[in-house]
Each structure stands twice: as C-alpha cells, then as structure tokens.
Structure 1
Amino acid sequence: MRLPALIALLCLASHAAAQEPSAPTPDAAAASAPSERVDALSRNAQYRNALQREIPTDEQRQLDFNGESVFGLFLPAARPQPLGGVLLIAGSGEHADWPELIGPARRQLSDAGWHTLALTLPDAPDGPTIISPPIADPDNQPPGEAPPAADPALLAGSEPADAPPEPPVSLDYGTAAGGLINAALQVLKAEGAEQITLVARRDAGYWALLATDSTPDDQPPQAMVLYEVRQPAAAERPSLGSLMEGWDKPMLEMLDSSSALGQAHAAAHLRIARRAGHSRYRQLDLAPIQRSAVAQEMIAKRLQGWLEANYRPAQATPEASEAP
C-alpha cells in the first residue's frame, strides 16, 4: 500500500511543478525594460507629442531655452498691424491648448487682432511620470459608440481634482520658469507686439508674477491676467499677496466666488489692491459665467473686452473695483 501512495504523491508533485510559471531569464527581463522606459513620459512630453499630432504644424513653435527646445503654440494676429501680443501660460498638469481659457482665448484673441503664444512651464524637478494611455482603435469601438474626436492624451480632466499632486519645487525651478516666461515675452516682442499681456492659470500665475516682479512700465508685460491664481504649496516665499501688492500695472483677476474660499480670496486680493493704491486692478467673477454652456467663449470675450479697454487711453478711477 505504501508504494502506490508514494507514486501518487510523486505524480501530484510533478504536475504542480509543471503548472508553475517559469521565472523570466535575465535576457527576457532586459528586453522588456526598454519598452517600459519608453512608455514612461513626463506629463509635458506626453502633451507635446499629442499636440504635435493634433495641432496644425504652422501653429507649432519651438522656443530655444537653456539649450532645450520648448514647445509652444503661436497664432498671428488677423490684421496687418497687431494690437499687441498675449502670452498664455497653462497651469501645472495642463497643456498649451487647454480647453479652459488657454485654447479658446488664444484663437479668439488672434482673430480679434492680437498675436498669441501659448505654452506650459517646465516639468518640476522629480515630477511624476505617467504612462501613455493606449489610443482607442475606431474599428474596435462597440456598436453605436462614436470614436474619439481628439487624442486621448489631450482629454484630461480640467478640474483641479483631476490633476496629480503638485511635485515639490525649488528656487532653481522658479528661476527656470521665470527665464522661460521672459524668453517667450521676447518672442512676441520680436514678432512686432509692442504691448504684451500675460495670461496665466492657477499656479502659473504665481510664477508669472515672480518672473515679472519690478518690471519697468516700458518693458513687457504691460498687463497681467490671473485665472484662479494660487500659490504652489512648496513656494513659501515670497507670498502671493506680496507679489500682487508689488504689481502696479493693469491687472484682471478671474476668480470663482461660488465657494467660501473663493469669496475670501476675492475680498483679500481686493483689499491688497486698495491698500496699495492699484486703481487698475479689476476682478471678474466666473461663477455666473461658468453656469453657461458656452462659458469658455464668454470668458474669452470678456478677456477681449478688457484688453480693448486697456489699450485705449486710461481714464482715472478712484479705486480698485470689480469688473462690470
């Protein structure tokens, strides 16, 4: 009885060994590693690749900065002599054709007579990497489902909750961001834009203020537009409030007062402007506009109206106020 039992145990052991997957050889592991490294792209690199596929080549502009090529989107003014230039800077985790403000405004303002240049700031050091998502095959779509109209990499959520946590930043990053902003301003100036307005979203607004702090009135930018500006968590000094207090040129701040935090920011920034005597500071409340189905077009139109008013001879106003 012991011999048949022993034979049965040996058979079971050999069957189990056959079911276990064999360990990959060193050569096989090495062969798969390059593929994983290729797929791991920074957010900026992924967006750049997608925009290069989606945006007409005549709009694409490569900026040489610190020995590297920085991707931007340029549209000339739709008139012989431009009214000026507009530099649009996307926020962290966004791209140069972001569907909120950046993309609609760069096209709207170009049609209205401004040169526009849109870009995003460099990746922060040691920033997160993301894996490129697979592009859907239209032939394999379920019945009745339309294929995607744009590159999936450009369809990222535009709400702050969809963006990854901000990576840590350093003084070196602030210097690099400021250098890129000033280089982009010079590009617009070389294109014939005598007056340049800088438009920045979220944390890019902080870096824009830092880069242009104490800029003389006759040097670009001559005006600033901040969209839901916020201070990066790792950038403790200088504070956003002190940078706004030091800016004495025309400024339009777009903010959402639908939350208690938004109302507090609006009140605090208005106090800063009044305390500093900045009569050319205006606020635009986004709350009533964002409820519209054509919110982005309306925001771009309001931005255009402010630019047109700003380029006319300024009329004295007693104090800072909210935009009509």
Structure 2
Amino acid sequence: MSYTIRAMFPAICLTLILPCSQIAMAADPAPTKDAKPAETPVERAALPSRSQEDALALERSVPQAEQQQLQAGDDSFLALWKPANIDEPKGAVVIVPGADESPDWPNTVGPLRRKLPDVGWSSLSLSMPDAYNDVFARAADPAPAGDKAPADKDKPKDAQAKTPDPAASAEADAAAAAEQAAAQAELAKANAEKIFARIDSAVAFAQQNKARTVVLLGHGTGAYWAARYMSEHASPAVQKLVMVTAVDTGKDTPTLLELLPTLKVATADFVNKERTVARQQAQDRLDASKRVKNARFTQVALSTIAGNPAMEQDQLFRRVRGWLESQ
C-alpha cells in the first residue's frame, strides 16, 4: 500500500464512524434537568366517621378512668362511666344521647352525667352509631353535558313514533319504589338492632358494677330510642325511663306517640312547653297517657331561662333528681 493511501486511511474511518454516533445519540437522548419521574397514585385512607371523630376527641379530653370500651356484637364503642360518690349507690343512669350528640354533649347529656354521681347515682353515657343515610331520598345526579341524548331530529323515525306505555311505566315505577322501601326498611332494622345492642351492653355493665336499679335516660332522639328499647327489648333490670325534650327520628316507626301506651315502667317526660312545636307534641303525649289505664307516666315542665344556659341545666338536674328519688 502506498504512503498516500496509508495516510488517508484514518480520515476515511472517521467519516464512517461519525454518522453512526449521531444516530445513537438521537435514539437515546440524555435526560433533561426538568424531567420528573412518573408519580404513582397514592391511596388515601377512608375518612373517620362522625362517631369515630367524637370518640377520638373524647379520648384526649376526658380522664382515662372514665372511659370504657364496651362491646355490642362485633362493634366496640366508647362509653363514659362515673361511679356514684357514696358508699352505697342508689343505682345507675344509662344516658342515651340524641342524633349527632357525643357522650359528653354540653346540653343535658354532659351536665347530667357529671352531676348525678354527686347525689348517689352512677352515670354511664353512651356513644351512638352514626345515623344510617337515607340514600334513596337523594335526587338522581343529572347526566353530564357531554352525555346528553341526541336530539329528536337525529333519532330514527320509528323511534320518534313510539310512545312509552303508561301502564308499563307505572308498573316499573311501583317496582322500583317497592325495592327502595324494602332496602330502606332493612337499613332501619339494622340501625335499631345496633342501638339496642349498645343499650343491652350498657345495662349489663351497670349490673356488673352492682347497680341496684338501672334508669334509662334519653335526650332528643335518644329519648325515642330509649322508649322503643323499653317497648321492644324491655330488660327487667331497667325500672325507670326518663325522656328529656323527646323527639321522633322522623324516619323510624313506630312513633314515640305510638310507643307510650306500651311502656310498663315509670316514665318521666321532661318538656319545655314554651316552644310551640314541643308544646304540641308534649300535649299529645300527655293526652295519650291519659287514655291508658294505670299509666305510670309523669310530665314535668321546664322553664326557659334566657341568657343563662347553666341555670337551665341546673334546673333540669334538680327536676330529674327529684323525680328519681320520688319513685
């Protein structure tokens, strides 16, 4: 090989290698500084229910000695226990709060559970399960704008000519309504059984702590559940029933007015007759009790003390104490 060809050989090799390197660089570009790694979706934990949030808050604010974890079937729930401050307690008062109320609710529930032990009554205040959602009462969500049905002009002529059969539509609507009602009834039944199981557990706890007598006290809708418990699941250990500003749940049957004639224990109905709706409902309950022979029903009127809720709570406590000790 001549000297000239040998001298040109390296240059020829370089010209062949450079195009290959450019192709390799184009196929595998270097990562840029702004490139971000792909993010993996994060699964969020389910939000706690109202009753769980209340329980967590109470566990931080209420003395540990007052907290009791009771068992009702497969459910564990928080109850607040305060033993009577005497050597021989008169009994135990099981307090059933109303809807969305905690075992230490500032109106009625908390004040009574703290004051009753000072006059010889142990108190056990329950946490209630979350109210079941009336899913069938919700209006159906409107269809998204992008999913609108095509205009009539786009439909085939045969489809435009057809009209729905009124009888078939009515039958379908009736079947759907019956199905919803049955599902709603199942939810209501399950909710009632859950509440009754908690009251059963509370009564058993009171008996284990040597309560000579057990009083069931309900506030608001809690009074409805206390009365219904005494009507449908009466326990021989519960000898008195106290209802404070009792109201129906609005979606459960039988109603409070229908339950009263079935009660066989001494019952006190504490009402505020200065409120129009409450006054009429209280009068209806009083009239119903008069129609029942040997009814052990007493209605006690409370006064509104404007601007002094603490005095109102003290008034209620004194009236409840007086009735308990008169029986």
TM-score strictly above 0.5: yes
What is the rounded CA distance, in whole Å, between the counterparts of 1:47 and 1:275 in structure 2? 41
Structure 1 position 181 matched with structure 2 position 208: no
Deviations along 1:69-117, whole A, 9 cap, x unmatched?
A: 2100000111111101100011110100011111111111111111110
- The answer to whether the 8 A contact 1:252-1:283 is kept is yes
The answer for unaligned runs of 5 or more in structure 1 is 1-23, 129-166, 311-324
- The answer to whether the 8 A contact 2:270-2:300 is kept is yes
SS in 1 for 2:111: helix
SS in 2 for 1:282: strand
Assess, with a 3 A threshold, how the Cα gap between structure 1 residues 239 and 259 changes in structure 2: closer, same or farther.
Answer: same
Q: Which one of the candidate residues 191, 196, 207 is aligned to 2:214?
A: 196
| Pairwise CA distance, 1:206 | 1.6
Deviations along 1:156-176, whole A, 9 cap, x unmatched?
A: xxxxxxxxxxx9951111111
- The answer to whether the 8 A contact 1:289-1:298 is kept is no
Structure 1 position 220 matched with structure 2 position 237: yes
| Pairwise CA distance, 1:286 | 2.6
Deviations along 1:252-285, whole A, 9 cap, x unmatched?
A: 1112212321221121111111111345312222
Amino acid of the residue matched to residue 246 of structure 2? V
Q: Which one of the candidate residues 208, 216, 223 is aligned to 2:226?
A: 208
SS in 1 for 2:212: coil
- The answer to whether the 8 A contact 1:77-1:113 is kept is yes
- The answer to whether the 8 A contact 2:304-2:312 is kept is no
- The residue that corresponds to 1:303 in the other structure is 320
- The residue that corresponds to 2:262 in the other structure is 246
What is the rounded CA distance, in whole Å, between the counterparts of 1:277 and 1:118 in structure 2? 33
Query: Number of matched residues?
Result: 243
SS in 1 for 2:89: coil
Structure 1 position 118 matched with structure 2 position 136: no
- The answer to whether the 8 A contact 2:81-2:124 is kept is yes
Query: Of Structure 1 and Structure 2, which has the larger fraction of its residues in helix?
Result: 2
What is the rounded CA distance, in whole Å, between the counterparts of 2:251 and 2:125 in structure 1? 25
- The residue that corresponds to 1:263 in the other structure is 279
Q: Which one of the candidate residues 261, 281, 289 is aligned to 1:273?
A: 289
| Pairwise CA distance, 1:127 | 8.1
What is the rounded CA distance, in whole Å, between the counterparts of 1:228 and 1:274 in structure 2? 20
Q: More displaced, 288-297 or 67-76?
A: 288-297
SS in 2 for 1:271: helix
Identity, % of aligned pairs? 25
| Pairwise CA distance, 1:305 | 1.3
- The answer to whether the 8 A contact 1:88-1:200 is kept is yes
Question: 1:45-56 alignment to 2 at 5 Å?
Answer: 45-56=52-63
SS in 1 for 2:131: coil
Aligned-residue Cα RMSD (Å) equals: 2.6
The answer for unaligned runs of 5 or more in structure 2 is 1-36, 136-183
Deviation above 4 Å: which 4+ runs of structure 1? Answer: none
